[in-house]
Amino acid sequence: MTPRGLLPTAVGSGEIVVHVLGSGSGWPTPRRDTSSLLIGVVDGWSLVECPGSIVHKLAVLGLLPGDLRRLILTHNHVDHIYGLAHLLQAMAIAGAPATFELLAPRQTIESVHGVVATHGLDDKHHPRLELVEVELSDEPQVVPVEGLRLRAARTAHSRDTAALRFEAGDVAVCYSSDTRPCEAVAQLARDADILWHDCGGPHRQRAAFSQGHSSALEAGLIASKAGARRLALMHLGSRDDRELQECVQEASGAFEGPVALAEDGETWTLSETTEDR
């Protein structure tokens, strides 16, 4: 398992690469932009969430928008989709692929239609979107998409939201997206190598964010229930270092495995042969 480094030029079968493009909440900090992940399997790169600066972040990694195999949106809160119009515009500028796969729950697909219509992104210069609905259920469901072993489950959030689980070989990673602690995410993350879980802050401040998010303690309890190997706290708000370390300690009290704060720019490479998974 490699916690940091540049993107590999290719991802092998039985391998998953996760690059954290952003690990913050809707309130970015100098250290953390709004949350998004780049997840690579042998099939190609899936962008998970589409907040701002995505095209620039891809450029830093040496990627063009056309290098993306697909986009997966978990829900339509602004901090998760506000870069969509620009991504599609950049694809047109760069000579877009003819089609582009976009997966999202139904409510978010309706938002995608709205963005496309508002900005006139449906002419021949822009890629034709191949929209795949991610069905939401309290039980993990397979998302039928070629080339990807992907399952999703409904989270406990203020809008319809999907948590995601990617698998390759016997490697599995899970991303809770925005959620209060919920059984569906614990099921989805069963024995996952890493669970990236929503963390609104320390439990003592729970009243401030409990409508749609989890405390660090709750994230730790879900990771423990899931039997995940490792927990990364994600969607971190504008908090000082003392509070963030409090979050790590709190989650560590509820979960036996390693706990870390997700960091913008870090890359995790997981494969069947990696011994320290």
Q: Which residues bind Zn ion (CB under 5 A)?
A: 77, 79, 178
List residues bridging with 273 in a β-sheet: none
Nearer to Zn ion, 122 or 160 (CB): 160
With respect to Zn ion, which residue has the nearer C-beta, 178 or 193? 178
Token pair 């000082």 is at which residue?
A: 240
- Residues forming beta bridges with residue 129, ordered by sequence position: 100
Structure tokens at 23: 């690990």
Closer to Zn ion by CB, 77 or 151: give it: 77
Residue 214 Cβ vs Zn ion, minimum distance, rounded to whole Å? 12
CB-nearer residue toward Zn ion: 77 or 180 = 77
Closest C-alpha among 217, 178, 172, 216 to residue 195: 172
We find the least distance from the C-beta atom of residue 196 to Zn ion, in angstroms, to be: 13
The Cα–Cα gap between 191 and 229 comes to 7
Nearest distance from C-beta of residue 22 to Zn ion, angstroms: 10
Axis crossing angle, helix 241-254 with helix 216-226, rounded to the nearest 10 = 30
Q: Which is nearer to Zn ion, 108 or 267 (by Cβ)?
A: 108
Provide the minimum distance between the beta carbon of 78 and Zn ion in the complex, in angstroms, as a whole number: 8
Supply 120's token pair: 């006139």
Residue with tokens 């390759």: 168
| Least Å from the CB of residue 58 to Zn ion | 20
What does the DSSP assignment read for 195-212?
EEEE--B-GGGGGGTTTT
- Distant-in-sequence, close-in-space partners of 125: CB < 8 Å, separation ≥ 6: 92, 96
d(CA 63, CA 135): 30
Euclidean distance between CA atoms 195 and 189, whole angstroms: 7
Nearer to Zn ion, 157 or 229 (CB): 157
- C-alpha distances in Å from residue 49, one per residue of 46, 73, 216, 247: 9, 5, 22, 24
For Zn ion, the closer CB: 24 or 140 = 24
Min CB(80)–Zn ion separation in Å? 5
